[in-house]
Amino acid sequence: MKIFIIGPGGVGKSTAGKILAKKLEYDLIDLDQEYCKRIQNIGIFIHVYGYEKYCYKNSELFYQLLEEKDKKKNIVFILSSGFLAHEGFNNLIKKHRQTIQEKGLSLLLLPSKSLEESTTIVVKRQMKRGLNLDLASEKQKFIERFSIYKQFGDIQIFSYQNPKIIALEMFNKIKTYDL
């Protein structure tokens, strides 16, 4: 089974996803890490080539990884924050959503069902990352993506607990599916 962890940046996808993959004894692919390893640091790439080019390159890499790992049945994919919410890229998003639905189980992670509470938690986390992010633009981006992401996820987890607890909740919900 391929499990796709989705959600905006700063919700804990990578941290909880690593713990989940280990607990399930699945392989792990973090799309952002693979992008940095195979192509370039995401921030530098966007600065040099622009966000649009990044979106298409990221999509190409996703499909390349799917093809490379096609024979591997058990994989946890941690997807990029905008993967299902790239503003202005409706065809790309539609293709991503369809692929995820066809290829596996999607797991949405958000800190809370409340927009206000989630925004406070995530923006605080993003600003601590030391990436020279702009507070106002991070807040706006999260607010725009929150309602989009809330529509998705075969499994939805709303929690900002310790990543081990979140991973255990993910694990327990995944086990209810006929894998």
Confidence (pLDDT) at 175: 93
pLDDT along the chain (179 residues), means of 10: 93 96 97 97 94 96 93 92 86 95 96 95 79 77 90 95 97 86
pTM for this entry: 0.92
Hey, what CATH class is 2-173 in?
alpha beta
Tens of pLDDT, residues 66-104 = 999 877 789 999 999 889 987 788 899 999 999 999 999
Residue boundaries of the structural domains of the chain: 2-173
DSSP per position, 83-131? TTT-TT-HHHHHHHHHHHHHHEEEEEEES-S-HHHHHHHHHHHHHHT-S
User: Helix %, strand %, coil % for the chain, to 5?
Assistant: 55, 15, 30
Q: Does residue 10 come out as left (phi exceeding 0), alpha (psi in the -120 to 50 range) or beta?
A: left
